[in-house]
Amino acid sequence: MKKKKMTRTALFAGIIAIVAMIGFSLAACGDDSGGGGGGTGGTKTKTVTVGAQNGTLFAGKQGFTEYPVTTANIADGFYVVTVANLPSGVTSYNVTISGNSGKLLLEADTSTTEATTSNLTLTLDGVTSAEFAIAIVVKTVTVGEQSQQLYEAYYSQFYYPVTTANIANGKYDFTVDNLPNEVTVYAPSGWGYVEIIDNYGYLNLKVSESAAVVTTSNLTLTLDGVTSAEFTITIDHPGYSWTVTSTTYPAQSIQTCLACNATTGTARDTIIGDTVPGGGRIFYIDTAGFTVTGTDSFTAYYLVATSINERFIAWASSAYASTDITGTGTGIGTGRANTAAILAVDASAPAARACKNYTGGGKDDWFLPSKDELNEIYKAGIMSSGYYWSSSQDSSNRAWYQNFESGFQFGSNKSTTYVGDVIYEVFAVRAF
End-to-end CA distance of the chain: 150
Residues ≥6 apart with Cβ < 8 Å to 404: 378, 383, 384, 385, 386, 387, 388
Reading the chain (432 residues) residue by residue, the pLDDT tens digits are 444 444 554 544 554 455 444 444 444 444 444 333 344 456 789 999 999 999 999 998 899 999 999 999 999 999 999 999 999 999 999 999 999 999 999 999 999 999 999 999 999 999 999 999 999 999 999 999 987 777 666 667 788 999 999 999 999 999 999 999 888 887 654 567 888 999 999 898 888 767 777 899 999 999 998 999 999 998 876 544 444 444 433 333 444 443 333 344 444 556 777 777 667 888 898 878 899 998 899 988 889 998 887 878 999 999 999 999 999 999 999 999 999 999 999 999 999 999 999 988 788 899 999 999 999 998 887 766 789 999 999 999 999 999 988 889 999 999 999 888 788 999 999 998
Per-residue confidence (pLDDT) for residue 264, from 0 to 100: 41
pLDDT for 93 equals 97
- Predicted local confidence at residue 150, as pLDDT: 77
Handedness of CA 290, 302, 287, 254 (dihedral sign): positive
Q: What is the pLDDT of residue 63?
A: 93
Q: What is the pLDDT of residue 251?
A: 33
Q: In CATH, what is the architecture of 140-236?
A: Sandwich (2.60)
- CATH 2.60.120.200 for the 47-137 domain, yes or no: no
As a whole number of angstroms, the distance between CA 151 and CA 153 comes to 6
Is residue 236 within 8 A of residue 151, CB to CB? The reply is: yes
> What residue ranges do the domains of the chain occupy?
47-137, 140-236, 239-270, 272-431
Backbone φ and ψ for 29, nearest 5 degrees, come out as -65, -35
Check if the beta carbon of residue 271 is closer than 8 Å to that of residue 259. Answer: no
Q: Tell me, what's the pLDDT at 270?
A: 66
Question: What local confidence, expressed as pLDDT, does residue 22 receive?
Answer: 46
Determine if the pTM surpasses 0.95.
no
Q: Residue 353: left (phi > 0), alpha (psi -120 to 50), or beta?
A: alpha
Strand partners, 116: 135
pLDDT at position 186, please? Answer: 76
Q: At what angle do helices 350-357 and 335-345 cross, to 10 degrees?
A: 120
pLDDT at 4: 46
